[in-house]
Chains A and B, each alone.
Chain A
Amino acid sequence: MPSFRHSLLFLLLTLLSLTAHAQQPACECFVKGVVKDQHTGQPIVGATVLIVGQNNGVFTDENGRYELRNLCPGNYTLECRIIGYNPFQQKVDLTAGHEENFNLLEQEVHLKDVEITAHRTDAPSSQPLTTISGADLDKTRGQTLGESLKGVTGVTTLQTGSSIAKPVIHGLHSNRVLIMNNGIRQEGQQWGSEHAPEIDPFIATRISVVKGAAGVRYGSDAIGGVILVEPEELPVDKPITGELNAVGFSNGRQGVLSGTVQGGLNFVKGFGWRAQGTIKRGGNIRTPDYFLDNTGISENNFSLAAGYRNKGLGIDVFYSRFDTQIGIFSGSHIGSVTDLLNVIKNGEPFVKSGFSYAINRPNQNATHELVKAETHYHFKNGNRVQWTFARQYNNRNEFDLHRPRNDSIAALNHPELTFKLTSLTNDVVWDHKPVAGKITGQIGVSTLYQYNLMSGRPLIPNFNQFNAGLFWIERYVTAKWELEAGLRYDYRTLKTYRIVNREKIADQFDFSNFSGTAGATRNFSERLSARLNVGTAWRAPNVSELFSDGVHHGAAAYEKGDATLQPEKALNSIASVKYAAPKWSIELGGYYNYIFDFIYLKPQPEPILTIRGAFPYFKYTQTDASFKGIDVSGSWEFAKRTTVSSKLTYLRVYDERNDGYLVMIPPNRLDNALKYQLADRGKWKDGFISVGNLLVAEQKRVPANSDFLPPPKAYSLWSLQAGATLKVSEKQHLEIGINVQNLFNTIYRDYLNRFRYYADDMGRNASLRLKWKFGA
């Protein structure tokens, strides 16, 4: 329901007519311009621009540009149209050259093959945005959200085994990456590196990554970037359609089944609905040499959506529930440094097991519920107001390996850690009508109220938090240039409650900050374009950074918070150049993200003594850190139907205040693929075979003596993919995909997998994917 498009209202950006010129000789007038989506600002390719009443029209090119030449002076009516958008007419009085830009509004009712962009979560257009949708998204089906994004340049994952994956953008993760789930800030216990986002990727038909600080539009915390998880527009007044996905994985003998049914209602005009559900079951994961005990997963998710459209008004309601139970590899729960050193010395886990679907302690159970209501109204004069309200409830239960010794307590089988986080968000955004025909913009207010209830082993305090943000973004668009600037102010107040020596202690924190963004996009030619963006974002320290005080099981580290921490501030510059020729294309991007008061765990010289022995002692400390990186991606169709593509992710991080490196920075990687497109044969379409190789370097830039084990060696993994679509009939097709990851069963460990101390990473994993679409 991110839908935010509306009917029969369009805005028009009119233009400065260049009428001042002297009279031209007959029929040498021209009109040119660019056609864009009114809300996303993205160029529309293939739109028709024609002169009404004449047999004269052109299509827009890949940058949305058009040009009509050799016109005689006079009055004309131009019409711009493309399926999925409302057609738009404009009268022009031609005396010379003339620039006429169209900003089309998406139609309320969409044809299903139109690429849909939810403008409400649109990203700054001068910042790199990578979107996974369609066939590319299908290839990731069955995987977690974090894993699905692994293919994006500049994005890696922070893993706890193979079932818990958190996205890492340009080296930053957890609280520094914001996830917008269907237009709503995902609020879970993101501070935990073993807390994966509680989102079912099957909800989305588009998953986009905004790289770099994007604090102005999305609010605090978006220091590393933003992930947008967006479902398709609701099928208002459409017949019933649906799809069924089934994926089976050999490793873990995992099965995933997901279905969607959607449509309109015959007896209520303007109504659309969707129901979607996913079931996932998996057992113990196998490394090349052994099974990992207790690494099963079980997931049951569903979502319901309904929407109503009437003239300028749109109302959407959405409910989703995510429910997962994840087994944590039992060999990773250790009691002391001695235990950890023994496992490392042994080279493989002491705990051995066969295959099983059973999930025992240690495990984590998490449910996440989202209720969202959104309404918008288009005024006739071009203004638009949107109001979104959502409530999220995140319930996370973590069970330690050890049951309580006391039998009566053990019999209750209570989790050792329970977090219940309730978040209420409220956003009002006003899109003002275009000023001088070329400037569009929006002003918005967002608020968040949340409270966290925690029970069990003391880890983080209970807290209440209130945030309020006010932002203003303006955008100026011409055929060659696109400029934008924005400003935001946020205020946050946090009240925490914890028990110290059986007494309740309350603390209050207030944070506030400005963020800004300024960016430009320049289209030099049809093939060449460049972008530059400078943005800021900030992040208030979270409760775990303020108040952690205890041993982190699994990391064998004693972590202590600091209640005097100040917010982090990021200043991020990001530039990219893109050149696209018919047979080849290349995109080169570079960034420099300087984070003032970067919060990290600093190793302390003296260990801390506990009942389980002396643990290495880490304190949350602040420094200034720089993140410099390059993302390169390119592809070349060097022979008929055969394409080679490469992606390079390079990152260097430096602790500027202490002249050193920082821990847990993803190593550089190079991803290559060779793809052969098969010719269509009868009812078989879009067939392909591809071979891929991923090279991950050894992370050599680590602080000395900061870890029990040096970062793992470089590794190289091969993969094989194939797929095709069978068009059974006009309304039904079946897509089949085969994927083999870690083709040669290579033994490796990854630096950003927290299990690297205990066990090898996943071995070969073959999967078969079927997707049946009906009624389409």
Chain B
Amino acid sequence: MKMNRKLTWMLLAAMTTAFVQCKDSGDEVEPDDENELITSVTLKFTEQGTSNVSTFSYKDADGDGGNAPTKFDTIALKPNTTYTLAVELLDESKSPVDDITKEVAEESDEHLFVYTPSPAALLTYTYGDKDKNNYPIGLTGSAKTGAAGNGTLKVQLRHQPGAKNGTPTPGSDDVNLDFQLKVK
């Protein structure tokens, strides 16, 4: 039985060692800056031939959930006018603020902006940029408004790694926002 006792003590010692490893998960909580978010989308309409700039934004500074979006502007444009449309994406949950537009531009062969007005007659969008494979990107372009009316402008950023073919179908949405659109 001496052997037995020895073995039992060995087991006890092993167990004590294992319990010493207990640690507190609270010590390791810190904000993660590698995680990518898009917290704001700003559309910059510049009336062609002028320097009249109107900007319209969606902002949800803390990302999905948490606090509700702080800003979701209604786009107001003049009828029968041509605008230069530039888009800006930011991650404001980081400090300093992360410019996602730049990252999209760097990986333009994986991204496609899609602008869909409803009803379609409200606005016509023409891409003003191309990636290395000659497919459109949509970071800049022109938007020509039609006759006065109300509707929506859907702004999508399609993420299409390895599958971009110039159509919206492949990939999935990184941004999908329905802005209210007023042309008057």
Instruction: Give me the interface of A with B, judged by CB distance under 8 Å.
Output: 308, 310-311, 313, 315, 333-336, 338-339, 342, 350-351, 371, 373, 375, 377, 387, 389, 391, 401-407, 409, 412, 414, 416, 422, 424, 426, 449, 451-453, 455-458, 461-464, 495, 497-502, 504, 506, 549-551, 558, 560, 608-614
Contact = CB atoms under 8 A, between A and B. Distances in A.
B97 interface: no
Nearest to B106: A407
B176 A609 contact: no
B26 A402 contact: no
A404 B7 contact: no
A402 B159 contact: yes
Contacts of A551: 64
Nearest to A312: B4
B29 A497 contact: yes
Contacts of A497: 25-26, 29
B29 A498 contact: yes
A551 B170 CA distance: 21
Contacts of A350: 169-170
Contact of A310 (B4, B72, B103, B174): B4
A463 B11 contact: no
Contacts of B171: 335
Contact of A549 (B7, B66, B175): B66
Max chain A Cβ within 10 angstroms of own Cβ: one of B26, B58, B104: B26
Contacts of A391: 18, 21
Nearest to A310: B4
Interface string B126-164: 000000000000000000000000000000100101010
Interface stretch (B31-39, B48-56, B77-85): B31-39
Interface in B59-104: 60, 62-66, 68-69, 72, 98, 100, 103-104
Contacts of A550: 64-65
B161 A402 contact: yes
B11 A452 contact: no
B104 A499 contact: no
Given A404-B34, A451-B25, A424 B18 contact: yes
B96 to A, nearest CB: 13
B64 A500 contact: no
B26 A375 contact: no
A609 B172 contact: no
A310 B3 contact: yes
A495 B24 CA distance: 10
Given A308-B7, A338-B176, A456-B32, A611 B38 contact: yes
Contact of A313 (B4, B39, B69): B4
A405 B64 contact: no
Nearest to A416: B35
Contacts of A404: 34, 36
A417 to B, nearest CB: 10
A94 B3 CA distance: 45
B29 A504 contact: yes
Given A402-B159, A462-B29, A497-B29, A612 B176 contact: yes
Given A308-B7, A405-B103, A613-B177, A335 B22 contact: no
Contacts of B18: 371, 389, 391, 424
Contacts of B19: 424, 449
Nearest to B23: A451
Interface residues of B, number: 57
A391 B20 CA distance: 12
B161 A403 contact: yes
B150 to A, nearest CB: 19
A405 B36 contact: yes
B169 A336 contact: no
B22 A414 contact: no
Max chain B Cβ within 10 angstroms of own Cβ: one of A310, A336, A342, A391: A336
Contact of A613 (B1, B107, B178): B178
B25 A453 contact: yes
29 contacts: A308-B7, A311-B1, A335-B171, A335-B172, A335-B173, A373-B11, A389-B14, A389-B18, A405-B103, A406-B98, A409-B36, A412-B34, A422-B21, A424-B18, A452-B25, A464-B25, A464-B26, A499-B29, A502-B31, A504-B29, A504-B30, A550-B65, A558-B65, A609-B68, A610-B65, A611-B41, A611-B64, A611-B177, A612-B174
Contacts of A610: 60, 64-65
Contacts of B103: 405-406
Given A350-B169, A403-B161, A558 B64 contact: yes
A612 B169 contact: no
A480 B151 CA distance: 78
A168 to B, nearest CB: 29
Given A335-B174, A406-B36, A549-B65, A462 B8 contact: no
Contact of A609 (B28, B35, B72, B161): B72
B173 A373 contact: no
Contacts of A311: 1, 4
Contacts of B104: 405
A315 B7 contact: yes
B175 A612 contact: yes
A613 B173 contact: yes
A465 to B, nearest CB: 9
Contacts of A451: 22-25
Contact of B11 (A315, A371, A409, A455): A315
Contacts of B7: 308, 313, 315, 375
Max chain A Cβ within 10 angstroms of own Cβ: one of B18, B38, B106, B169: B18
A130 B7 CA distance: 37
Nearest to A402: B159
A342 B176 CA distance: 14
B172 A334 contact: yes
Max chain A Cβ within 10 angstroms of own Cβ: one of B8, B25, B26, B104: B25
A278 to B, nearest CB: 26
A611 B24 CA distance: 35
Max chain A Cβ within 10 angstroms of own Cβ: one of B14, B100, B177: B177
Nearest to B171: A335
B135 to A, nearest CB: 17
A500 B23 CA distance: 22
A350 B169 CA distance: 8
A723 B34 CA distance: 54
Nearest to B176: A613
Report, nearest first, the 9 A-B pairs whose CB atoms are least far apart. A335-B173, A335-B172, A613-B176, A405-B103, A462-B25, A336-B173, A497-B26, A549-B65, A451-B25
A497 B26 CA distance: 6
B159 A335 contact: yes
A609 B26 contact: no
A455 to B, nearest CB: 6
Nearest to B15: A389
A609 B65 contact: no
Max chain B Cβ within 10 angstroms of own Cβ: one of A335, A422, A506: A335
A401 B172 CA distance: 10
B34 A409 contact: yes
Nearest to B64: A610
A612 B173 contact: yes
Given A502-B31, A613-B178, A405 B100 contact: yes
A766 to B, nearest CB: 33
Nearest to A391: B18
Contacts of B39: 611
Contacts of A375: 7-8, 11
B176 A463 contact: no
A462 B24 CA distance: 9
Contacts of A558: 64-65
Contacts of B107: 405, 407
A49 to B, nearest CB: 34
Given A405-B103, A451-B23, A495-B26, A611 B175 contact: yes
Contacts of B66: 500-501, 549
Contacts of A458: 32, 35
A617 to B, nearest CB: 10
Contact of B58 (A313, A403, A560, A611): A611
A82 B80 CA distance: 97
